[in-house]
Amino acid sequence: MTNKILNITIILVFIISNFVYADEIDTENFDISTIETSANNSEPPKINSKHALVLERTTNSVLYEKNGYSKTAMASTTKIMTAIIAIENSQLSDMVNISKKAANTGGSTLGITSNTNLSMETLLYGLLMRSGNDCAVAIAEHISGSIENFSILMNKKASSLGLKNTNFVTPHGLDANNHFTTAYDLAILTNYALNNKTFSNIVKNKTAIISMENSQKNITNTHELLGYIDGVYGVKTGFTGNAGRCLVTACKKNNLDIIIVVLGADTKKIRTQDSINLINYIYKNYEMINTKEFLNKNFHYEKIKIKNSFNEANVFLEEKSNYIYPILKNNKNFRIKTYILYNQSAPLEKNSKVGVIQLFSNDKLLYENNIIVKESIQKISVKEYLFYIIKIINLNFSK
């Protein structure tokens, strides 16, 4: 009987410990220098994580994906959104009273104490660098009063960013029903977050010293590639039972700036290896190319007839803010397709769209550019039309 009770106790302790310490308490240790990278960087690497995607930041071009658009748990990568909501809805100097609920939150923590006051800045460092679940709850309660109300803000922001396959339930990412994202949505969110100076200035740090009430604390970033891979400047780790090991990485070399998302790895070593292999593959095979010269050279300007007008319209390409796109090296096979809307009717305002031109690289659509009229086209008046009819009649009689 005693052995049976002991066995049940051991099982319960195992279940409880895995539930409470699901997020970021990762006891797996490995020497990152022992990571074996892909032997052939000319071909996309074999990725063992369940989901992966690489996004080029300036154009939102997807350079690689594996199950990148399918929904999955996201663990502490959730805190990217938590941080953005906090930064956009508070001041770094705000003092946050730490509740008992926040202080007692399990999993990875900064170690904050209830009934104390910490600055929002300190909590953001603890949230993003140490992946503090306690910090996430404290932030949510300060801004919205509760986790539930905070998740409403998170989902409103997700909607405004066009994250169609993402839903937030918690600010920390501990496993919960209906809490999910995709590698693509997470990359888009991360790209937005990195444009915020406060966010980017925090996640780029390998170490930092933060103020904890009456003392200071040294903290180390959980992101294993910071300071190890050239060009890496953040951003966030994650781990739960449902999500597996997750890693979101930003890397910039020369003028190629990418976000690498790896979700659902079985081990920390796998998420690290997959991320390194994807970084090596992208920088070996892609470069940023200015496509404007090719586009202008191969677009033939022409005039098109406009209904209800005596004039033909000169058409032009609308100026884009950016023509520089990531292209596979030594494989710049560009082609264009042009679509003109020939049945346009006056009146037309200046810069009206009358068609579209598409630029392809190796049959992959890079972008579309509008074809426009640069001058307004007026509709002919009744008087002008009558004069036109009279003119035609006179011409016929004079023959």
Instruction: Give the DSSP letter of residue 167.
Output: B
Backbone phi and psi for residue 244, each to the nearest 5 degrees, phi listed first: 75, -165
Quote the CA–CA distance of 92 and 98 in Å, as a whole number: 16
pTM of the predicted model as reported, rounded to 2 decimal places: 0.86
Per-residue pLDDT tens for 73-108? 999 999 999 999 999 999 999 999 999 999 999 999
pLDDT above 80: residue 188: yes
- Asked if 174 and 185 touch (Cβ cutoff 8 Å), the reply is no
- Asked if 86 and 139 touch (Cβ cutoff 8 Å), the reply is yes
Instruction: Give the DSSP letter of residue 286.
Output: E
Structure token pair of residue 178: 């209906």
CATH class of domain segment(s) 12-24+45-286: alpha beta
Those residues whose C-beta lies under 8 Å from the C-beta of residue 9, and which sit 6 or more positions away, are none
Measuring CA to CA, how many Å separate 249 from each of 26, 182, 211, 246? 18, 15, 27, 10
- The pLDDT of residue 315: 82
pLDDT above 90: residue 17: no
**Residue 315: CA atoms inside 13 Å, Cβ hemisphere, count?**
25
Give the three-state DSSP class for 105: coil
Burial class (CB in 10 A: 0-12, 13-18, 19+), 176: middle
Of 28, 32, 150, residue with least CA distance to 82: 150
- The pLDDT of residue 28: 75
**Element containing residue 335 per DSSP (H, E):** strand 334-340
213 pLDDT band (50/70/90 cuts)?
confident
- The pLDDT of residue 10: 43
Quote the CA–CA distance of 103 and 81 in Å, as a whole number: 21
Fold match between 12-24+45-286 and 292-382?
Answer: no
First and final C-alpha spacing in the chain? 120
Per-domain boundaries in the chain: 12-24+45-286, 292-382
Q: What is the mean pLDDT of residues 150-171?
A: 98
- The pLDDT of residue 345: 72
Of 262, 277, 272, 98, residue with least CA distance to 190: 262
Quote the CA–CA distance of 287 and 325 in Å, as a whole number: 8
What is the residue-wise DSSP string for 29-92? ---GGGPPPPS-TTSPPP--SSEEEEEETTTTEEEEEESTTS-B--GGGGHHHHHHHHHHTS-T
CATH number for domain 292-382, candidates 3.30.2320, 2.60.410, 2.60.40, 1.10.287: 2.60.410
141 pLDDT band (50/70/90 cuts)?
very high
Q: What is the mean pLDDT of residues 231-241?
A: 97
- The pLDDT of residue 240: 96
- The pLDDT of residue 199: 98
Q: How many CB atoms lie within 10 A of CB 111?
A: 12
**Residue 100: CA atoms inside 13 Å, Cβ hemisphere, count?**
0
376 pLDDT band (50/70/90 cuts)?
confident
Residue where the block lists tokens 């503090």: 132
Structure token pair of residue 27: 């006891």
Beta pairing, strands 51-56 & 61-66? antiparallel
Quote the CA–CA distance of 395 and 389 in Å, as a whole number: 10
Per-residue pLDDT tens for 287-297? 999 999 998 88
Q: What is the mean pLDDT of residues 334-341?
A: 87
- The pLDDT of residue 19: 38
Long-range contacts of 388-392, Cβ-Cβ distance < 8 Å, separation of 24 or more = 388/310
Angle at which helix 133-144 crosses helix 120-128, to 10 degrees, equals 140
> Looking at this protein, which amino acid is placed at residue 217?
K
- The pLDDT of residue 256: 97
Start-end of H helices in the chain: 2-20, 79-88, 100-103, 120-128, 133-144, 147-160, 183-194, 197-203, 268-285, 292-298, 382-397
The residue that leads in pLDDT, 342 or 250, is: 250
Structure token pair of residue 240: 């739960």
397 pLDDT band (50/70/90 cuts)?
low
- Asked if 107 and 172 touch (Cβ cutoff 8 Å), the reply is yes
Per-residue pLDDT tens for 51-76? 999 999 999 999 999 999 999 999 99
Quote the CA–CA distance of 275 and 5 in Å, as a whole number: 45
- Residues in the chain, total: 399
Q: What is the mean pLDDT of the chain?
A: 88
